[in-house]
Each structure stands twice: as C-alpha cells, then as structure tokens.
Amino acid sequence: MQLTNANTAGHIVVLASGSGSNLQTLLDVSSDEWAVVGVVSDRPGSGALERAARANVPTRTVRWRDYPDREAFTEGICARIAEFDPGLIVLAGFMRVLGPAAVRRWPNRIVNVHPSLLPAFPGAHAVRDALDHGVKVTGVTIHFVDEQLDHGPIIRQEAVDVLPDDNEDSLHRRIQTVEHRLLPEVVASLVGGEYDVSGRIVKGRVTA
C-alpha cells in the first residue's frame, strides 16, 4: 500500500496536546524520505507546540472551545491538517476524539500511539486503569484510527512488564521509552509503503 502520491507521502502531520515527547522523536529522526511538516494542537502553549517551534516546524492551534460540537471541531482541525498536504497523520498524545469525517477523509492514514496493549484499557487513563486492574503486563499499541475510540487496525504492539512497586508515573515512563523507539520505526515503514491492510489485519514489515 502506498500513502497518497509520491510527492506528499513523506509529509508527516502530528497532532498533539501534551508535552510532545513522541513528537520529538519524529523531529529528531526525520530523513530524506519523510519529515514532520506541521504540528496541530488543541492546547495553546503546549510542550508539543514549543518543540515544533524550536525545530522550525509550522504549527496550528485549534481550540475545542471555539467550536459548537465535535463535528465542527473536526471540520476545523481537518482544514488545518489539509494545509500541510499530509501523507500520514500521527496522533501523538492528542487528547481529543476526532469525528468520523477525519477518518473518512484519510482512511488508514491516521495513526495513534496508545499506552496499553489494546483492546485492553482504551481511553484517556490507560496506564492508571492497567495498574488498578492489577495486570502484570501492559505495553504500547500503535494503530490506525477508525471511527471508534482506540479501536482501529493494530500496526505494532510491544509489552512492558508492570513491576511490583510501579506507580502511574514510573510505569508510564517505561511505556514511553518503548513508544519513542517504535513510533519512528513505524512511520518510516508506513512511508515506505511496506504494509497492507485488510479489514483489521495489517501485514508487512511494519508489523514485525
């Protein structure tokens, strides 16, 4: 499968709400084949926007409260994303749920990084929920975004052990170490077109 046309396949647009440590890994390893061309955030002043500015990557801010509902917010954010002519859109700690219009516009071209082994512990508190549940293993999932929350076809997963003395911060730190290694690898493989999606099943080098 190829991402859009050859000229824009390497255009990575990152959506982020938080500190942007995952974004930073993409800013650090951009290659001849791909680069972060734009960052969109719903949070003015977020770490992600500061990291983008330091890397001279253009940014846009789309605030939830400026729109009457999810549909209008999604329309607003899609318009900003489209300005960057994206090949791939990466949700890296983006804490808003996009409406179906975004997924229909860019099917299998929006990727999310989630801090659990989905389908376990979807939602905004995956690390805390895993700890509260008493699981001994959790991890990282990178998946395509579909119309349900934290649900689309799984691209890569890696397990992280839960240690007896873990709290939410310590476990999240180890999970993020894995995220930071996996995300640039997955982006490089997707840009290289080394995968195939059939229903929920993703196959190719990207899944290894």
The one among 12, 15, 16, 37 contacting ligand GRF by CB under 6 A: 16
Residue 28's contacts (CB-CB under 8 Å, 6 or more residues apart) are 184
Concatenated DSSP letters of the chain = ---S-TTTTTEEEEE--S--HHHHHHHHH--SS-EEEEEEESSTT-HHHHHHHHTT--EEE--GGGSSSHHHHHHHHHHHHHTT--SEEEESS--SPPPHHHHHHSTT-EEEEESS-TTSS-STTHHHHHHHHT-SEEEEEEEE--SSTT-S-EEEEEEEEPPTT--HHHHHHHHHHHHHHHHHHHHHHHHTT-EEEETTEEEEGGG-
Instruction: Select 22 or 108, whichever has its Cβ closest to ligand GRF.
Output: 22
Binding flag, residue 92, ligand GRF (CB under 6 A): yes
Residue nearest to ligand GRF (CB): 93
Binding flag, residue 19, ligand GRF (CB under 6 A): yes
Instruction: Select 9 or 57, whichever has its Cβ closest to ligand GRF.
Output: 57
- Binding part of the chain for ligand GRF, among 17-25, 58-66, 99-107, 200-208 by CB under 6 A, reads 17-25
Binding flag, residue 20, ligand GRF (CB under 6 A): yes
List the catalytic residues: 114
Binding flag, residue 170, ligand GRF (CB under 6 A): no
Binding flag, residue 18, ligand GRF (CB under 6 A): yes
- Binding part of the chain for ligand GRF, among 60-68, 113-121, 149-157, 163-171 by CB under 6 A, reads 113-121
What's the closest the beta carbon of residue 126 comes to ligand GRF, in angstroms?
Answer: 8
Are the C-beta atoms of residues 187 and 34 closer than 8 Å to each other? Answer: yes
- Binding part of the chain for ligand GRF, among 107-115, 131-139, 144-152, 198-206 by CB under 6 A, reads 107-115
Instruction: Select 10 or 20, whichever has its Cβ closest to ligand GRF.
Output: 20
Q: How many CB atoms lie within 10 A of CB 39?
A: 29
- Contact pattern for ligand GRF over residues 171 through 200, marking x by CB under 6 A: -----x--x---------------------
Instruction: Select 20 or 184, whichever has its Cβ closest to ligand GRF.
Output: 20
Name the residues that contact ligand GRF, by CB under 6 A. 16, 18-23, 92-93, 113-115, 176, 179
